[in-house]
């Protein structure tokens, strides 16, 4: 037969979307505006935002593994380990980028990410 209704998934948090009931509405009823992940994060309480940051850092391998690394920085040796290249080789690559560093130096994570992108890793 002809379809006269459509299903609208529930609005709300990503976690509730799987358990909360959606609703069947007439086909011509407009869909509510979609939420972006940024909207979801904006609506989280601060403790959940901090927890999410920790998860993202761990899952994306951006955690500072070296104790004493300044916040938002990676030690060159840690970055080399993640890139699976020799730390001395990484120092040469960083020098090509105009960064005069040693294996004991710290690299801002943003710089590390640009380097990874540049190297196509």
What confidence tens digit (pLDDT) does each residue in 48-95 have?
A: 877 877 777 777 766 655 566 788 888 888 888 888 888 898 888 888
Mark out the alpha helices in the chain (DSSP H runs). 14-17, 37-42, 46-59, 76-83, 87-96, 109-118
From the list 86, 91, 96, the residue with the least C-alpha distance to 118 is 96
Q: Please, are residues 27 and 5 in contact by the beta-carbon 8 Å criterion? A: yes
Residue 71 is given by DSSP the state T
pTM of the model: 0.42
pLDDT band, residue 10 (cuts 50/70/90): confident
**What's the rounded Cα separation, in Å, for the pair 18 and 13?**
9
Longest CA pairwise span in the chain (Å): 71
């Amino acid at each position: 037969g002809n379809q006269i209704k459509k299903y609208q998934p529930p609005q709300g948090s990503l976690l509730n979307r799987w358990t909360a009931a959606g609703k069947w509405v007439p086909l011509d009823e407009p869909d509510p505006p979609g939420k972006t992940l940024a909207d979801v994060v904006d609506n989280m309480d601060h403790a959940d935002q901090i927890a999410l940051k920790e998860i993202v850092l761990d899952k994306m391998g951006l955690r500072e593994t070296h104790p004493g690394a300044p916040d938002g920085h990676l030690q060159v040796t840690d970055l080399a380990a993640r890139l699976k290249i020799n730390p001395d080789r990484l120092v040469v690559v960083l020098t090509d980028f105009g960064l005069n560093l040693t294996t004991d130096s710290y690299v801002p994570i943003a710089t590390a990410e640009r380097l990874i992108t540049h190297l196509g890793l």
